[in-house]
Amino acid sequence: MRDIFIAANWKMNGDLKFAREYATIFWPIKKKDLKVAIAAPYTLLALLKETLDGCPCLLFAQNMHFEDKGAFTGEVSAPMLKELGVDGVIIGHSERRQYFAETDETVLLKTKKALASGLMPIVCVGETLEERDAGKHFEKVRTQVASLFGGISAEDAEKVTVAYEPIWAIGTGRNATPAQAEEMCAYIRSVVREISGDKAADALIIQYGGSVKTSNCAELMAMEDIDGALVGGAGLDPKGICEIIKSSYEAKRG
């Protein structure tokens, strides 16, 4: 049985005051088969490491460079995140792909670096509305998934979390239906099975992301191939995300 994994992506939101207050309210349920993460801006990671001490929660960055150091102005590396005690990193979020020209190649390089550095990668994949309307969503997601899993060992594949995030559902209030989300998550698992084998495919944690909220998380999490959620907007409310975590866990484990 795979762990349930819920991550809150703060994106470019929050200041020191917000992070301090969030950390006093946020306290997810503690279960052996549940992982919870906050992916915060770089500037808040050190503070959160301190204030969330003892809280059953992993700390994630939202991006990193694939080199350890060098002339890459404005970038942050895996050793820098490790030094802060960060546990993992989101890689290839659609906003990074869209606004910062990230490609399947850089996503692979970053994932390899994260794995080699002991950071847990959450790698985002997903199609645009145009691609879905044109019936090209499976093709698009296959390309992203194959590029990633074709470049790492089957052993490493087991350590990756994939977040399926249809771009048309991110921040729009319009989530994929549970059937649409399950169809794609099952497809992702089948592509990983082809490339990395049964063990990796069975172990792979797949999150759904795209307008997840308290009112829709249970029906999404009840789906067989959806093991968790990557939550944007709704994750900015510490009470709300705790409700999402609780009701997702109940929907999954009954």
Binding site for ligand PEP (CB under 6 A): 9, 11, 165, 170-171, 209-212, 230-234
Quote the tokens at residue 63.
């991006």
CB of 233 to ligand PEP, least distance (A): 3
Q: Do residues 211 and 203 touch, judged by C-beta distance below 8 A?
A: no
Cα–Cα dist 142/162, whole Å? 12
Catalytic residues: 93, 165
Distance CA 17, CA 48 (A): 11
- Tokens standing for residue 44: 């808040």
Cβ distance to ligand PEP smaller for residue 64 or 200: 64
CB of 69 to ligand PEP, least distance (A): 28
Cα(60)–Cα(230) distance, rounded to whole angstroms? 12
**Least Cβ distance, residue 209 to ligand PEP (angstroms):** 4
Radius of gyration in angstroms for the set of CA atoms belonging to the chain, rounded to a whole number: 17
Question: Least CB distance from residue 229 to ligand PEP, whole Å?
Answer: 8
Nearer to ligand PEP, 196 or 248 (CB): 248
Nearer to ligand PEP, 88 or 232 (CB): 232
Q: Measured from the CB atom, is 92 or 209 closer to ligand PEP?
A: 209
DSSP string, 78-121: HHHHHHTT--EEEES-HHHHHHS---HHHHHHHHHHHHHHTPEE
